[in-house]
Structure 1
Amino acid sequence: MTSTYAVLSEGLRKRFGEVDALRGLDLAIAPGTVCGLLGPNGAGKTTAVRLLTTLLRPDAGSARIAGHDLLRDPAAVRRHIGVTGQDASVDGDLTGRQNLRLFARLHRVRGPAERADELLDRFGLTEAADRPMSGYSGGMRRRLDLAASLVRRPDVLFLDEPTTGLDPASRGRIWEAVRELAAAGTAVLLTTQYLEEADQLADDIALMDRGRVARTGSPAQLKAVLGTQIEVVVGDVDTMVDAAAVLDRLTGAEPSLDRERRAVGALTRDGTLTLPRLVRELDAAGVPLVDASLRPPTLDDVFLRLTEERAA
């Protein structure tokens, strides 16, 4: 690859009739990393994947995939990528082994039988290799589909919601495969509705909204923007004001009061605040405490904040 990035797009745009599906997509993914592309439904994630995999032609902008120009040399781009879409690409009438051998021959891979056997073993499908794929479970089909996208050992792998509907064990197998690919140098673009999945796998997150990347950063960086959620539950509703004063002094943020639960909450970006200190401060203020917690934010919280800002 001649570029620092395995995927580099600048200002990609795509319009369908009156709808601007992409309004200037800027994205950079380094080799050997996983980028999680997240966003609400309709944000443009699938359109972005279809553009970057040459299935659609952009109306404007540019991109280089594995060092090749997306517009000038789409054939070269296709030779260096693997794609696992939302719908399975394997043939239900063929066995798992036949599917992978077929893909290997289509991609002119040396030793197609050996490569098929290697992938069947890697994804735990050897015992089912000679059964028709139509009899596979959902998790097995998804693993076979991912194996098919790896027949050619791609420089860049695009995964569009690869684990939707899978049980935890099947999801874990795919997570393990993605980590191994990234460790071996493959760049992975992952779209997912499971924010825990992005938190577990992604080195970087690109949060999309209305056809653009609204925020980028590592999972830790994005969560740090929100801060830590503090909540205390007091024994006497009359002491909620005193508890709020303590939280205000410790965090500098305006606390929220839930009188029905006798709960007082606040956000803090102070990484030095600990639970023992919080309890000591409340005790010193004479606040009868029932419960206290400091909860780090999740990607779900970040996603919900983006959704709330979009609605506003």
Structure 2
Amino acid sequence: MIKVEGLTKEFIRKGRDGKAVRKLAVDGLSFEIGRGEIFGLLGPNGAGKTTTIRMLTMQTEKSAGRIFYDGMPLEGNEKAIKEMIGIVPQHINFDNDLSVGYNMELHGRLHHMASADRQQRIAELLRYIELEDTVNMPPRQLSGGMKRRLLIARALIHRPKILFMDEPTVALDPQVRRRIWDLIREMAANGVTVLLTTHYIEEAESLCNRVAIINKGRL
């Protein structure tokens, strides 16, 4: 489903002396993820996990390497691949001037979903994450766990085949975390491929079919 070969990201910044300083954030990663698999990326802060996800999801340009989705190279197939993927970011990024329903509506429109399909999908997903009663509330009124579940629902609105989740349960209490684990398992059981980053060893052990451990950008 996903194949990565020699993925590399180098940042160039100015040092204190004004000279260019090169930092290798991701250093030649290669791995494959199968359809319907839950694949975990583990490692300390600054290991390159988020940078890897940002390259895989076309938010950051890679310095070198190749990425394939379903056998298609990323280059030249960006639009088709964007239709295949959903992203659950590490940070909450809803528009608090809009209601829960309109946040979902906006995301559906960005994916060019037809109006009837969009409305049906929003209702279906809010029921799925048990937040149908919040449709007219602004996201700021939701608890941390509710916001995390809403991030997942928003990422699923266009029925992606692959879901990227960057620390989906960070700062949540154990009960809410396990509820989100159940959502992730159910998505994988329905054929969605999941790539997640986490700091929690027990989370990776409970959820993942396989894990890759990254440190200083290397596998």
Larger radius of gyration: 1
Q: Is the contact between residue 66 and residue 77 of structure 1 (CA under 8 Å) also seen in structure 2?
A: no
Residue identity opposite 1:133 in structure 2: P
Show the counterpart of 1:276.
Answer: none
1:10 aligns with 2:5: yes
1:162 aligns with 2:168: yes
Q: Is the contact between residue 96 and residue 128 of structure 1 (CA under 8 Å) also seen in structure 2?
A: yes
Show the counterpart of 1:125.
Answer: 131
Residue identity opposite 2:87 in structure 1: V
Residue 175 (structure 1) shift: 0.8
Residues 93-132 of structure 1 deviation map (CA, whole Å, 9 limit, x = unaligned): 2111111122112212241111101110100101222111
The secondary structure found in structure 1 opposite 2:133 is coil
Kindly report which structure 2 residues correspond to 1:17-96, keeping only aligned pairs within 5 A, or say none. 17=12, 18-96=22-100
Higher relative contact order, structure no. (Cα contacts within 8 Å, ≥ 6 residues apart): 2
Give unpaired runs (5+ residues) of structure 1: 1-5, 214-312
Distance in 2 between residues matched to 1:96 and 1:167, nearest whole Å: 23
Moved beyond 4 Å, runs of 4+ = none
Residue 168 (structure 1) shift: 2.2
Distance in 1 between residues matched to 2:71 and 2:147, nearest whole Å: 31
Distance in 1 between residues matched to 2:60 and 2:73, nearest whole Å: 14
Residues 157-216 of structure 1 deviation map (CA, whole Å, 9 limit, x = unaligned): 100001101122321221111111111111110101111111110000101122121xxx
The secondary structure found in structure 1 opposite 2:30 is strand
Residue 89 (structure 1) shift: 3.2
Show the counterpart of 1:235.
Answer: none
Number of residue pairs the alignment of both structures matches: 208
Residues 33-81 of structure 1 deviation map (CA, whole Å, 9 limit, x = unaligned): 1001001222111110000001111111101124432223222221110
The secondary structure found in structure 1 opposite 2:60 is coil
The secondary structure found in structure 1 opposite 2:214 is strand
Residue identity opposite 1:120 in structure 2: L
Residue 90 (structure 1) shift: 2.2
Give unpaired runs (5+ residues) of structure 2: 13-21
1:113 aligns with 2:119: yes
Distance in 2 between residues matched to 1:212 and 1:26, nearest whole Å: 10
1:211 aligns with 2:217: yes
Q: Is the contact between residue 66 and residue 156 of structure 1 (CA under 8 Å) also seen in structure 2?
A: no
Aligned-pair identity (%): 43
Residue identity opposite 1:7 in structure 2: I
Q: Is the contact between residue 93 and residue 134 of structure 1 (CA under 8 Å) also seen in structure 2?
A: no
Q: Residues 101, 67 of structure 1: CA spacing in aligned structure 2 closer, same or farther, 3 A cutoff?
A: farther
Distance in 2 between residues matched to 1:85 and 1:160, nearest whole Å: 5
TM-score by length of 2: 0.91
In angstroms, what is the RMSD of aligned CA positions? 1.2
The secondary structure found in structure 2 opposite 1:19 is strand
Residue identity opposite 1:61 in structure 2: G
Residues 235-270 of structure 1 deviation map (CA, whole Å, 9 limit, x = unaligned): xxxxxxxxxxxxxxxxxxxxxxxxxxxxxxxxxxxx
